[in-house]
Amino acid sequence: MRFLFLGDIVGRSGRNGVMKHLPEIRQRLDLDFVVANGENAAGGFGLTEDIANDLMQRGVDVLTGGNHTWDQRSLLNVIDDEPRIMRPINFPAGTPGKGADLFMARGGQRVGIVNVMGRVFMDPLDDPFRMVDEALSDMALGQQADFVLVDIHAEATSEKMAMGHFADGRASLVVGTHSHVPTADLQILEGGTAYQTDAGMCGDYDSVIGMDKEEPLRRFTSKIGAGRFEPAGGDATVCGVFVETDDASGSAVTASPLRVGGRLREIWPDQAPANQGG
């Protein structure tokens, strides 16, 4: 199976970048399924139904969330009826939406997705490790699911790395979101799980993690805010992780970065050396 995960889509720049490049990416990489983190897609804060529909019409199959999931309150009225929009599984019981589910890829493959938030330097939600453990038991790789993704939306690199090893052998890909900077540690772990600490963002990198530079610089240098953060509006770099799996086991065979457009050096998975399992 050929799978692509896209990092946090930030504002109009990120949306436009994904909608511009994803059709070509899907065709060139012959993708079976695409997941993107969409929690910053609406003005940098949250997600709306209209934006979600636009992204899904251009080739995103499922959108995951994070700590900004509810910044656009209208999503509360939509998420129960739209399983392709997900929120972290460790939100309190009774929260609208789902944090884990099974989906069908274009070739009939079953794709299990788990969206979870970390707790280090983040909101004090339920135990992410226990919740992921329970979710993975319901979508056993190679049995109930042909591919399993864990999107861990977290601040601490240590917590993300721990989740990668915790799910090793039970997921095809564990990838971090939230930091908006692509890390250089993409690898395949001993149990066959592809792992990267952060996929990076789909947004304008001439910015402070996707936000226009002026207000963050003012706050860092003077400790006085003069307005709200606004997403930077330049050309986006679309950042993600491409994984190809063994059809029988669901384990990752190759894992490669994707970077297209904008300021960062372009990398296509079919050109970059693939990371092989150890």
160 to each of 65, 103, 166, 269, how far by Cα in Å? 16, 24, 10, 23
> Is 153 one of the annotated active-site residues of the chain?
no
Tokens read off for 104: 């069908």
> How confident is the model at residue 278, as a pLDDT?
42
pLDDT of residue 276: 54
pLDDT along the chain (278 residues), means of 10: 98 97 97 97 95 97 96 94 97 96 96 98 95 97 97 98 98 97 98 98 96 93 90 96 97 98 94 54
User: 87: which 2 tokens?
Assistant: 């929120």
Domain count, the chain: 1
SS3 state at 28:
helix
The pLDDT assigned to 275 comes to 61
Domain of 134, CATH number, reads 3.60.21.10
What is the pLDDT at residue 204? Answer: 97
Instruction: Confirm whether pTM is higher than 0.75.
Output: yes
Annotated catalytic residue within 68, 153, 178, 180: 68
What is the Cα Rg of the chain in Å? 17
Domain that holds residue 92: 2-276
Note whether 180 and 9 are within 8 A (CB). Answer: no
